[in-house]
Structure 1
Amino acid sequence: MALNPSRSLSSTRKALQQCRPSSLSAAPVRSFSSTIARSFGSETNEEPQQNYRPRWSYTPEKMKGPGFSINIVKDPRRKVWSCNEDPAVLDAMYNRLLGPQGDKMLPDEIKWLAITHKSFDQGRRGFNTRLAYYGRQILAFEATRSILVSPAGLNDAVAPDAFGRTPFSHPALASADKLSNQQPQDIIQKEKMAKLAVEVGLPEVLRWKPRLPENLEGSGMTVVLNQTLYAIVGAISLQHGAEIAHKVARERILRRLGA
């Protein structure tokens, strides 16, 4: 059967007229403004008030637990331990350690992070473990370098060979034998580093929670003080570069240790 094009077109036109709602034809058209939206407070020249708190001074709400702890402490007195919260006391320690204007070498957040042990606030405010690892490598390198460039002593003389043989010698290897008499760990001993930390007042600003508040040495205070000094050097290296960090390690730490 042949199709009638005029009949099909007319029927299609009628169907479209019946299905077209009257409301669509009268729908309002949304107009877009070409002017730039004004920010909050632009008319009154006032800025929104915010209760700003530095990150080091509080624990984020979403990191807090349900309000109770599953850790059972035999002696409740061991749960009580206070740490310094005064920025002026912290800046004074940095000035004693790094010299005048030493508190300006690091931003506020990094200054607090470098002296924060992972035992403080369950590590929820950040801790200095990775900074300490980096700073330890810098101090070990500078301690090795100080041994190699030091003048040869009586103990550095090569013992004569029992069979009369002459060992190989080269100017580039002349200082390598010094490491057989002194090692870097002999310079950066834990006891020496802890003594230096006490002299600059690091225990007064250290943020940590000892396991035994009545026995700080038994809680590992010597190791924590060493780690904190390493972390400060590591933070300076990341903030100012290797040249400044190595200079601080040589002049402010190793020289005080007798290197």
Structure 2
Amino acid sequence: MSIRQTTHYAKRSMALLNQLRFFQRSTSVSFTRSIYLHRGPRVEGLKKDPQEVFINHNGIEYELNQNNIQHIKSYLGDKFQIPDEIALQIITHKSFGNGIKPYNEKLATMGSKLLSLFAAKHAINKPTEKDAKLVINGKNLSILGSPKAKELHGRKSTGYFAKLNGLNKTMFWKSRNPTLNFESSGELKVSSQMLYSLIGAVNIYHGKAKAEEFINDNLIKGLEEITDELVHRG
């Protein structure tokens, strides 16, 4: 092949290559895919909308706004006020949203212990019964083993207290069957933990003395009335 033929062949090949590149660019096709995200009861074959995880069974969306936390802030008042984001954490259980959002478990642990100690001191300072077997320095320690003393800071009394005072009006948690009653659905347990965490938060932001003042001013009388009813019913 002569030099002229080789040059001609190279130019022709380059022209064909450029035409091919132009054809590829002009005929390129893009594809888009639409994904349907299903809300409501699970349906086989449909992808569930992940945002639905952050809506409680009453249809309330998890977010920091006054509608969600106002019942907590109102109950605390100015005297025992806490940051808004902590108020939201108080009403959030670890079962909600796969535990992604800040939940109240650690605050509840602290509040439970503080309420238990306060309830014990409150019980032994009651007038000593004549048949009390263990009295030390005028303190009726025998009462600590009674059903009333045990339930005063227990799950049922605190759970029902939260319900009767509207403190569980808005909570973010997940129930296997929210149509069941207050106890069977798990709402009692979650309400109790919420109240414990409320005490724990007051303790964190105001100190132990102020937290005990909160219990004394806002909780103990109502807890005693509920406990009396629970013990009476057996």
TM superposition score normalised by structure 2: 0.63
The alpha carbon displacement at 1:115 in A equals 1.0
Instruction: Give the percent of matched residue pairs that are identical in Structure 1 and Structure 2.
Output: 24
The alpha carbon displacement at 1:107 in A equals 0.3
**Structure holding more helix per residue:** 2
1:242 equivalenced with 2:208 (yes/no): yes
After TM superposition, the structure 1 = structure 2 runs for residues 102-251 of structure 1, keeping only pairs within 5 Å, are 105-154=81-130, 156-158=131-133, 171-172=136-137, 174-181=139-146, 184-215=149-180, 217=182, 218-251=184-217
> Relative to structure 1, is the Cα distance of residues 187 and 249 closer, same or farther in structure 2, using a 3 angstrom cutoff?
same
The alpha carbon displacement at 1:214 in A equals 2.2
> Relative to structure 1, is the Cα distance of residues 117 and 215 closer, same or farther in structure 2, using a 3 angstrom cutoff?
same
Check conservation: 1:149, 1:175, Cα contact below 8 A. yes
Structure 2 segments unaligned to the other structure (5+ residues): 1-35, 226-234
CA distance in structure 2 between the aligned counterparts of 1:258 and 1:88, rounded to whole angstroms = 30
The alpha carbon displacement at 1:216 in A equals 5.3
> Relative to structure 1, is the Cα distance of residues 94 and 255 closer, same or farther in structure 2, using a 3 angstrom cutoff?
farther
The alpha carbon displacement at 1:171 in A equals 4.7
> Relative to structure 1, is the Cα distance of residues 176 and 131 closer, same or farther in structure 2, using a 3 angstrom cutoff?
same
CA distance in structure 1 between the aligned counterparts of 2:163 and 2:136, rounded to whole angstroms = 41
CA distance in structure 2 between the aligned counterparts of 1:74 and 1:150, rounded to whole angstroms = 58
The alpha carbon displacement at 1:203 in A equals 2.8
Letter in 1 for 2:200: G
Residue 101 of structure 1: aligned partner: 78
CA distance in structure 1 between the aligned counterparts of 2:148 and 2:72, rounded to whole angstroms = 29
The alpha carbon displacement at 1:246 in A equals 1.1
Check conservation: 2:159, 2:192, Cα contact below 8 A. yes
Structure 1 segments unaligned to the other structure (5+ residues): 1-66, 159-168
